[in-house]
Each structure stands twice: as structure tokens, then as C-alpha cells.
Amino acid sequence: MNYEAHFDQSAKLRENHWNSIGKLHSDVITHLINPAFMGGPEWPSTRQAFVIVETPAGTILASDGLSDPYNDFDENPENQSYNGIGCEFYLECNEQLTSFDEVKSSWQFSVVYQAAQLAAGNPNIASIIEEYGYVSTELYHCTVPEAFLNEHGRAGVLLGLSSRKVPSRLQLSLETIRLVNVTLLTLEELDYITTNGSEGRLEVAKRLEALETSGKSFLERKSVV
């Protein structure tokens, strides 16, 4: 198959996957002007998009394009084994976010958007998560309440938690990709990880995965540390 065939097949497989979990909106959230043209990180096929999935228990917002085949697929043999960077990122929340305006102005979208852009600038992120299981990081420009921001104005997230609804793997046209959960951390949890390093990260992850709400991000969640 050529680039177009792999692109179409991967898009259809992602669409079928999300429709098996909830109701996938037919339209995607994207940019009028691609940020890559203004110095931002470039996504594999250049296309940068996000999807909205409605479920009875809330909403899932997910990147859609990080696992596209590379746009030089037909000319570059080195990229002919990969679905982009090998992952897509998603955030699961309790709220029913139905309109584009509501989603785009939500703190949930700001978090998953910044996580996806961070991943686009770090194409080895899938292998890093594979090696360590969980990755904690801090994101700029998240419209979360101030109580979730550290002294540098960044929000902490944990990447790679298990979800009760979303499998961690998805077979696409070229490879099996990771579906990476993005969980918002409380400031106490972020401080605990910062202080205790990898052991702190694993302890926070273990405690979060023990919750019935594992994989969900919501502002009312009590800190696990």
C-alpha cells in the first residue's frame, strides 16, 4: 500500500475504535493555520486534529494524527514501518462536552492538546512510556484552576495510566500503537513525584490505578498522597 492507502486505513481503524467505545463526532477539531507552519512541532502527516467521543459516563478527547503514516512514506523507506510516533493521547472526563465551543474552551482540551504537542516534539515518547510504564511531566498553557499550577505556572500530568474504558493498544495499518491516557495530577501529587523521583511516580501511579476512576481526570478528585 502507498501513503494514501495507509493513511485512509489507519484513519478508519481509529474511527472504528472510538465508535466501539462511544459516539464519535463526525467532525474533528483542527487549526485554520497549522501550528507547524509557525514554528510549532510537526505531526507525522502534518495534519493536526482532535476527536470528541461521547460516552454515557462522560467525554473522551483524543489526538488524531500522531499515528498517521509519515508524509514522506512513499519516498523514505526508513518511515515505511511506522504509524507516525506510534501513539495517540487522550483525556477522559466525567463532563458531557458536546459542542465544539464548549470543548475548545475547556481545561480538559487544553491539557490533552498540550500533551499531544509535547509528544509531537518528542517522537520517541512511545518507547519511553514502553520502558518506564508511566511518565510524569509538566505542561504549559493549561487552563486548569490555579490550585493545579506549580510556581512556574505549569500543570502536572501522568501519562500511561490504565483506563476502565479505553484499551492501551490499537492495531493500525503498519503497527500496533499505544493509546496514552493523560491524567491531571493534583499539585500535591506533582510535588510528591518531583521530590521522590521515579519511586514517587510509581507510587502515585499505583494509588491512582487502584481507584475506580482510574484514567479519569476531574478537578474534584482528592489527592492520593
Quick: pLDDT tens for 20-57: 999 999 888 876 444 444 456 899 999 999 999 999 99
pLDDT at res. 33: 47
**What type of residue sits at position 216?**
K
pLDDT at res. 37: 45
CA distance linking residue 92 with residue 135, whole number of Å: 17
CA distance linking residue 140 with residue 154, whole number of Å: 5
pLDDT at res. 26: 85
CA distance linking residue 70 with residue 209, whole number of Å: 34
- Sequence-ordered strand ranges (E) for the chain: 23-24, 29-30, 49-55, 58-63, 87-93, 135-139, 155-159, 169-171, 176-184
Q: C-alpha cell of 50?
A: 482532535
Is pLDDT of 58 > 50?
A: yes
pLDDT at res. 28: 85
pLDDT at res. 100: 83
What are 70-120's pLDDT values in tens digits? 999 999 999 999 999 999 999 999 999 978 889 999 999 999 999 999 999
pLDDT at res. 123: 87
What are 150-173's pLDDT values in tens digits? 999 999 999 999 999 999 999 999
Phi and psi at 180, nearest 5°, equal -100, 115
What are 131-144's pLDDT values in tens digits? 999 999 999 999 99
What are 182-220's pLDDT values in tens digits? 999 999 999 999 999 999 999 999 999 999 999 999 999
Per DSSP, helices labelled H in 83-186 are 100-104, 107-120, 125-132
CA distance linking residue 208 with residue 186, whole number of Å: 11
pLDDT at res. 31: 60
